[in-house]
Amino acid sequence: MEYRRLGSSGMYVSEISYGNWITHGSQVEEDRAIDCVKAALEEGITTFDTADVYAQTKAEKVLGKALKGVRRESYELFTKVYWPTGSGKNDRGLSRKHIMESCHGSLKRLATDRIDLYQAHRFDYETPLEETLKAFDDLIRQGKVHYIGTSEWSASEIESAISIQDAHGYDRFVSNQPQYSMLWRVIEEEVIPTSIKYGIGQIVWSPVAQGVLTGKYKAGKRVPVGSRATDKKSGANMISGWMRDDVLNAVQNLHPIAEEVNLTLAQLAVAWVLQNKNISSAIIGATKPAQIKENVKAGGIRLAPKTMKAIDKVLGKLPETNPDLTLSPQPRP
């Protein structure tokens, strides 16, 4: 395992991190989820990402239980706030009330006294940005949070926040967590240049495009039993956009490229993401330890320019690049 600095901060993260978005507390039984965390630690992963909304708070509880007894200073714990975990009118967004209450809830569920990286899970158009940033900074001053970041914020939203943080002497955001893969490249045109300008590192999710880039889905074939494409309560809706014959056939055409560099398709996908110098870490998920052991082999791989070009040639115009697709929910009616 190799490690990278999180943006311009002094904290290092494992370049491959473990996330439990649709696994812990939902798709995977607790014992197996704990086995996955143990496998991640054994493989050198020190960075663990979750959110209060994952499995309606259950994912945080499982992760906290899985990390019990592990020396707290030896790993980096990330979580997020924004989405509702209850039915209250104030139980969503980035108001001071919701941020403070959500942070305290996450600390309790994760069984820890501090969060290494606390992230705004989306941009909140209903709350004054100054209020949000003051609340985050107060959490840092209280020692409950070490660093702060965003998730799926646009370049202009990030820039607005940095301007306010600098004006008030608040700690800046050091990270952004966007979707990024060979097929989803919407951050490249605007978010990444802005992030480089302000010392922000990307912690990217879905580097294998919800499993499509593993090659397990084939055009005209029945989807594998138990796969994400069949799980209506988890990732089926998100993956549906890639379940097209043109995409699935192109992915199969990546096999010779992967074989040439002695990687599986999944490893090639994760390695591709890590070639971007603005990426601090790529988040992988798993339903069983073997998947972790496979995917971590993508760490430390340097793909030659000719390999990167060959990938682009196979995928052609399929990758999505429109920066306007970095979206947050609009205000409630």
Residues annotated as part of the active site: 54
- Which residues, 6+ apart, have CB-to-CB distance to 88 below 8 Å? none
> Cα separation of 5 and 1, whole Å?
14
In sequence order, what are the beta bridge partners of 281? Answer: 203
Containing 77, the helix (H) or strand (E) segment is strand 76-81
Closest CA to 101 of 130, 88, 219, 268: 88
Length of the chain as a residue count: 333
Query: Is the distance from CB of 117 to CB of 175 less than 8 angstroms?
Result: yes
Q: Give Cα separations from 333 to 99, 126, 151, 217 (angstroms).
A: 22, 11, 23, 39
- Which residues, 6+ apart, have CB-to-CB distance to 155 below 8 Å? 190, 191, 193, 194, 323
